[in-house]
Amino acid sequence: MPKRTTGRYERTTVGDEDVAAFIPFPLPPAKPPLALGPLAERLRTAEQALARLELAGEMVPSLDGFLYAFVRKEAVISSQIEGTQATLVDLLAFEAEGDGEHEAARDADVEEVCNYVDALNFAREQLANPKGLPLSIRLLNETHRRLLRGVRGADRLPGEVRSTQNWIGGSRPGNARYVPPPAHALGEALGVLETYMHAKPELPPLVRAGLLHVQFETIHPYLDGNGRIGRLLVTLLLEHWRLLTKPLLYLSLFFKRHREEYYRRLDRVRRDGDWEGWLDYFLDGVATIAEEAVTSARELFALVATDRARLLASDGVSVLALRLFELLPRRPIVTVASVMTLVETTKPTAGRAIEQLVNAGVLVETTGRRRDRSYVYRAYLDRLRVGTELGQMEGSGSVPSTGNVVTDARRRTRRGRNQG
């Protein structure tokens, strides 16, 4: 017996197939209403963990560097869940090249992650600006436009709600794991979703954020990018509702770690009305990652403090090298060219500053080449990148990605590559 019914099915024709598309009922869950009692402990733990992360953020004097790094971590992992083959190291190496004189050539995977960072920054700025877009579907559309900018996204209607049927998992709608609402139902479904974002809060904000993520994935309003925008929405909501005023929570790491369960929980909401099961998972994720982020921020901070003290105490470390050191939390990978730009200096001076940090054991040369060398603040990056490498995903073979007539052929090609 299902717990509750969360929507209705509508027969629709895609190609020559007749399928049942799902149209969710508006939030909040009803008949019966959400049973939060058994989740009270989970909720409290998650809220407390977020409060600790907020506090950790306030206590770090050079928060910018960490924030910069944590946002990139989330961007990389959220993109990896969808099959992007770029790591945090790839992204930071790309940014190091971009800091130099030449605009580096972006590979499509790194571009996707850069777009994610741009999209998040755009949305946060809009919300922070009284004249910017409010929390709305339009804001999400504009964010989506930035996310899918460039080579790979162009034919997936950046910034636009789809006008055709899509499906999740499976090679065609007929064997899909899930068929989201037909295009004609999207306007209303999204309108109601937006209303709920602004409705008088009757449930705790963290719970509402969890509900909204699922509802967004269930509606699946875009041809592609639904997972990433839906996870980005959680980040925005946490900030907007003041649960965490800086995007320090890389929640996607939890979804990546427990990916099969992520998809299963989404399915169960629709199939069995199991919103409580989803919330149990979601709140566990928030608590777990918030705790980890606190620990990570603390370790990174301690590491930087220790290295700084060591540098200050050692002879032969120039003011410029110290300035470079302070920039490393943001740019843990550098090249001579990037240092020239970062600290606005000449090539020989940049080279000397790097050399001093190498001698002090802070930077490590990683290429083994004589030219085009690249230097890494390794102790820092090794802590930061935990969870961002490829191939650490549960059930890597079965990404139930979104299909539609436009992108399906291409997706099969990408999958082929992923297996290689």
Ligand X SMILES: Nc1ncnc2c1ncn2[C@@H]1O[C@H](COP(=O)(O)OP(=O)(O)O)[C@@H](O)[C@H]1O
Instruction: State the residues that interact with ligand X by CB under 6 A.
Output: 81-82, 168, 177-178, 217-218, 224-228, 230, 263, 266-267, 400-402
Burial class (CB in 10 A: 0-12, 13-18, 19+), 330: middle
Q: Which does 228 bind (CB under 5 to 8 A by kind): ligand X, Mg ion, none?
A: ligand X
Shortest Å distance, C-beta 174 to Mg ion: 20
Of 297, 322, 319, 324, residue with least CA distance to 309: 322
Asked if 66 contacts 244 with a C-beta cutoff of 8 angstroms, the reply is no
Residue closer to ligand X (CB basis): 190 or 327: 190
Q: Which does 149 bind (CB under 5 to 8 A by kind): ligand X, Mg ion, none?
A: none
Q: Give the C-alpha separation, 323 to 331, whole Å.
A: 12
- The interaxial angle of helices 205-219 and 275-313, nearest 10 deg, is 110
Segment interacting with Mg ion, rule: CB under 5 A, options 60-68, 252-260, 310-318, 397-405: 397-405
Shortest Å distance, C-beta 177 to ligand X: 5
Interaction residues for Mg ion, span 321-340 (CB under 5 A):
none
Q: Give the C-alpha separation, 148 to 138, whole Å.
A: 15
Q: Give the C-alpha separation, 32 to 274, whole Å.
A: 11
Residue closer to ligand X (CB basis): 204 or 400: 400
**List 74, 90, 224, 239, residue binding Mg ion (CB under 5 A):** 224
Residue closer to Mg ion (CB basis): 6 or 401: 401
Shortest Å distance, C-beta 225 to ligand X: 4
Asked if 350 contacts 343 with a C-beta cutoff of 8 angstroms, the reply is yes
Shortest Å distance, C-beta 82 to Mg ion: 4
Residue closer to ligand X (CB basis): 81 or 321: 81
**Amino acid (1-letter code) at residue 327:** L
Residue closer to Mg ion (CB basis): 81 or 294: 81
Residue closer to Mg ion (CB basis): 99 or 217: 217
The answer to whether residue 82 forms part of the interface with Mg ion (CB under 5 A) is: yes
Asked if 407 contacts 156 with a C-beta cutoff of 8 angstroms, the reply is yes
Q: Which does 97 bind (CB under 5 to 8 A by kind): ligand X, Mg ion, none?
A: none
Q: Which does 210 bind (CB under 5 to 8 A by kind): Mg ion, ligand X, none?
A: none
Shortest Å distance, C-beta 310 to ligand X: 42
Interaction residues for Mg ion, span 363-392 (CB under 5 A):
none
Residue closer to Mg ion (CB basis): 81 or 328: 81
Segment interacting with Mg ion, rule: CB under 5 A, options 180-188, 229-237, 379-387, 394-402: 394-402
Residue closer to Mg ion (CB basis): 288 or 401: 401
3-state secondary structure 107-154: CHHHHHHHHHHHHHHHHHHHHHCCCCCCCCHHHHHHHHHHHCCCCCCH
Shortest Å distance, C-beta 359 to ligand X: 44
The SS3 assignment for 25 reads coil
Residue closer to Mg ion (CB basis): 179 or 294: 179
* Phi then psi dihedrals of residue 149, to 5 deg: -65, 145
Contacts of residue 128, Cβ cutoff 8 Å, sequence gap at least 6 = none
Shortest Å distance, C-beta 274 to ligand X: 13
Asked if 374 contacts 334 with a C-beta cutoff of 8 angstroms, the reply is yes
* DSSP class per residue in 358-373: HHTTSEEE-S--SSS-
C-alpha separations of 73 from 87, 92, 140, 277, 410 in Å = 9, 10, 21, 27, 27
Burial class (CB in 10 A: 0-12, 13-18, 19+), 200: exposed
Shortest Å distance, C-beta 399 to Mg ion: 8
Shortest Å distance, C-beta 416 to Mg ion: 16
28 prior amide bond cis, ω within 30: yes
Residue nearest ligand X, CB atom distance: 227
Q: Which residues bind Mg ion (CB under 5 A)?
A: 82, 224, 401
